[in-house]
Amino acid sequence: MKLLKSIILCGLGAAVISLSSCDDMLTKSERTKFELGPEFWSNANQVASYSNVLYENYTGYGTGGGAGWFYFKSLSDDQVNPSFDNWMFTTVPGTSTYWSTPYTEIRRCNYMLTGLQSSTLAEGEKSYYVAVGRLNRAWQYYQLVRMYGDVNMLDEVILDPEAQSDVVYGPRTDRDVVMDFVLEDLNYAVQNLGAGGKNSWSKDMALAMKSDICLFEGTYCKYRTVEDNGKAADATRAQKFLNECVDASQQLMNSGKYSLTANYGEVYNSLDLSKSSEVIFFRNYVKDQLMHSTADYTASSSQQRGISKDAVDAFLFLDGKPLATTAYNTDDHPVLDPSNNAYSIQSMLSRRDKRLSVLLDPYLCFKGHGWVRSNSMLMTSSTGYNIAKYDNTAMEVDYRINTGKNYTDAPIYWLAVIYLNYAEAKAELGTINQTDLDASVNKLQARAGLPAMSLTPAADPANNMGVSDLLWEIRRTRRCELMADNWYRYWDLVRWHKLDLLDSQAHPNINRGAFLAGVADLDETFNLDADGYVIPVSTLRTFDKKYYLCPIPSNQITLSKGATSQNPGW
């Protein structure tokens, strides 16, 4: 079943056609009581329309002028927001959409699952829609657990939140129990979703989600501590989820359906991902109907959330060695190009991992000295390093540099992520061999112009994670492959128990940009450190162990009359 057609017809987002068969309860607004009866759940078209609304939860590049999952999630050591990214919360909020929105969607899924019990649809069709409901419920609980830890687990329909307040505002369920429930839902979805297109609910989409979620859970349980996470590491649990990740990843890798594209950037700036051999599931955008602003924000006059020096330094040189040990020239100083009066970093890029040349513009741009990318507007970046990989110069200029007018498709799950998940899970389990590396991350290395990774890579003095040289290199590959994507880096640091690496006082390179010493037209608001590198923001971010979990909104605790507890440190 194709989702795009149903989404447009049901008036989702920026759609242009509305049919009377689309019930008003399918909108995103909260309702306190649903009134759909057995006839609705026995009508395949109506059930399809209901389930397709869940597609909106996969934000992708966002819609209209709103922020999406890519580029904007800059709370990391990869990017520096010129307005400064502090921790997700520094005080306890009264309410939060991070808490309430997943529960709205869980309630939507539970209502669907209950309604289907009375459906007269054929058993195969009914089990398909049950799988859709359970898949999306699993995804929402995963969002909640990784943010809050223990959460209220609801697997029943809440028709009246006020009358059922003891359930809605009940005690929190142990996060491990919730994640076991998530795995059960995912396994049901894998077993009951069949083949589908790249923007429809399918077994492959469920496997990709399972690969991602099980990698998170396995590594989180391996590295967590009582002091910082409220719960001790659990090697048995970690092994279980890591094996589940390996199994899901292998099914996709061995299916014969997917292969890497020749060009790393094609996944991010394509006008039609339905034709991509690498993409498993994507969010579709349509010119003049459903559009976003991610390309615009990386090609316009707004100062960009530039890439940090720490992130640039993570990319290997073409000899496969890091900054500390490479035989290549490590000079990263820009050179003034008289042909366009711009400061070129092309020489530096030519010596590095090819992904860096796709990620960044070949010229620095900063306050007082902007740069124009292929007929777009004059651009500046907080660090001097400007992100280019989400832009597509084949789009008309008007559609590239105006808010809400971009129509490139957004990847949600794709093969490169599965390769990364597989290699890391196998390495964490201690079962990885050279064949595993060659079947996964070494394909990414080859595309990046780098030598193959071996089981015994040379030590990098920059390894500050306390892991083996192999795991360090696998994590490096993940960082470089997914830079500025979907908040992956933030949650990777959480599950590796390395969130302290976002402390910019302890790790100053995450708040450094390009080398700009001696540049005559440098804006006076740009501060340089003693070595001549940009200091993009003056505010420092300091780490506290309480940031591993977000605070439960105070209103939730008040309404629970003490049944819902607060997270440690808040």
25 exposure class (CB count in 10 Å sphere: 0-12, 13-18, 19+): middle
Q: Which residue do the tokens 């420092």 mark?
A: 540
Per residue in 211-267, pLDDT (tens digit) is: 999 999 999 999 999 999 999 999 999 999 999 999 999 999 999 999 999 999 999
pLDDT at 190: 98
In which residue are the tokens 């921790």 written? 87
Rounded Cα–Cα distance for residues 120 and 371 (Å) = 61
Q: Which residue has the tokens 């083996």?
A: 468
Closest CA to 548 of 534, 569, 562, 528: 569
What was the pLDDT predicted at 153?
A: 93
What is the distance in angstroms between the CA of the first residue and the CA of the last residue of the chain?
A: 45
**Residue 310 scores a pLDDT above 80:** yes
Query: One-letter amino acid identity for 343?
Result: Y
* % of the chain at pLDDT higher than 90: 85
Both structure tokens of 56: 């909106």
- Predicted confidence at residue 362, as pLDDT, reads 97
Which of 414, 41, 42, 457 has its CA nearest to residue 208? 414
pLDDT tens column, 547-567: 999 999 999 999 888 889 999
Q: Summarize pLDDT for 511-541 with one digit per residue, the tens.
A: 999 999 988 677 766 789 999 999 999 999 9
468-487 pLDDT per residue, tens: 999 999 999 999 999 999 99
Give the count of alpha carbons within 13 A of 528, CB side only.
15
- What is the residue type of 292? H
Nearest alpha-carbon partner for 179 in 125, 215, 223, 205: 215
Mean pLDDT (whole number) for 107-132: 96
The number of CA neighbours under 13 Å toward the Cβ of 122 is 2
- Residue 357: pLDDT band (50, 70, 90) is very high
Helix (H, G, I), strand (E, B) or coil at 380: coil
Average of per-residue pLDDT across 296-323: 96
Report the pLDDT value the prediction gives residue 306, as an integer from 0 to 100: 97
Under 8 Å between Cβ of 88 and 42:
no
pTM, entire model: 0.93
Give domain limits for the chain.
62-94+290-406+504-540
pLDDT: which is higher, 11 or 226: 226
| Cβ-based neighbours of 18, under 8 Å, separated by 6 or more | 9, 10, 11
State residue 24's pLDDT score: 32
Mean pLDDT of 402-409: 96
**487: three-class secondary structure by DSSP:** coil
Q: Is the pLDDT of residue 428 over 60?
A: yes
Structure confidence at residue 27 (pLDDT) = 37
Compute the Cα dihedral for 116, 159, 45, 105 and give only its sign.
negative
Taking Cα atoms as reference points, which of 333, 350, 310 lies closest to residue 462?
A: 310
Q: Name, in order, each residue with C-beta under 8 angstroms of 228's C-beta and a sequence gap of 6 or more.
A: 497, 545, 548
Which residue type is seen at 430?
Answer: G
pLDDT grade for 34, boundaries at 50, 70 and 90: low
Decide if pLDDT at 30 tops 80.
Answer: no
Mean pLDDT of 40-62: 96
Greatest CA separation for the chain: 75
Q: Which amino acid is at 135?
A: L
Whether the pLDDT of residue 41 is over 70: the answer is yes
Report which residue type is found at 14. Answer: A
Q: Which of 247, 186, 194 is nearest to 429 (CA)?
A: 247
What sign has the CA pseudo-torsion 244, 284, 56, 494?
positive
CA–CA distance, 344 with 231 (Å, rounded to integer): 49
Summarised one tens digit per residue, pLDDT across range 197-220 is: 999 999 999 999 999 999 999 999
pLDDT value at residue 279:
98
- DSSP-derived secondary structure letter, 458: P
Structure tokens at 291: 């559009």
Instruction: Provide, rounded to the nearest whole percent, the portion of the chain with pLDDT above 70.
Output: 92
| Predicted confidence (pLDDT) per residue in 367-376, tens digit | 888 999 988 8
